[in-house]
Structure 1
Amino acid sequence: MGAGNKSVALLDYGSGNLRSAQRALERAGADVEITSDFETALNADGLLVPGVGAYAACMAGLKAVRGDRIIGRRLAGGRPVLGICVGMQILFSHGVEGGVDTPGCDEWPGAVTRLDAPVLPHMGWNTVEAPADTKLFAGIDDDARFYFVHSYAVQEWGMDSEGSPLTAPQLTWSEHGGRFLAAVENGPLSATQFHPEKSGDVGAELLRNWMKGLA
Structure 2
Amino acid sequence: MTIRKQRLNPRKQPVQIRSRATVDAILIAAAQVFEAHGYAAGTTNRIASKAGVSIGTLYQYFPSKEAIAVALLEQHISETGHRLHEWVGHMVVEQHGLGEALHDYVTEMMHIHSRQPRLQHMLLEEIPLPERVHQALLESERNAAKTMAGLLRLFPEVRQGVPEHTCFVIVQTVESLTHRFAVHPDDQFIPRTTFVDEIVAMLVAYLTYEALPQNAS
Class of the TM-score when normalised by the shorter of the 2 chains: under 0.3
Question: Which of the pair is proportionally richer in strand?
Answer: 1
Higher relative contact order (CA 8 A, sep 6+): 2
What's the TM-score once normalised by structure 2's chain length? 0.24
More helix as a share of residues:
2
Larger radius of gyration: 2
The alignment's TM-score, normalised by the length of structure 1, stands at 0.24
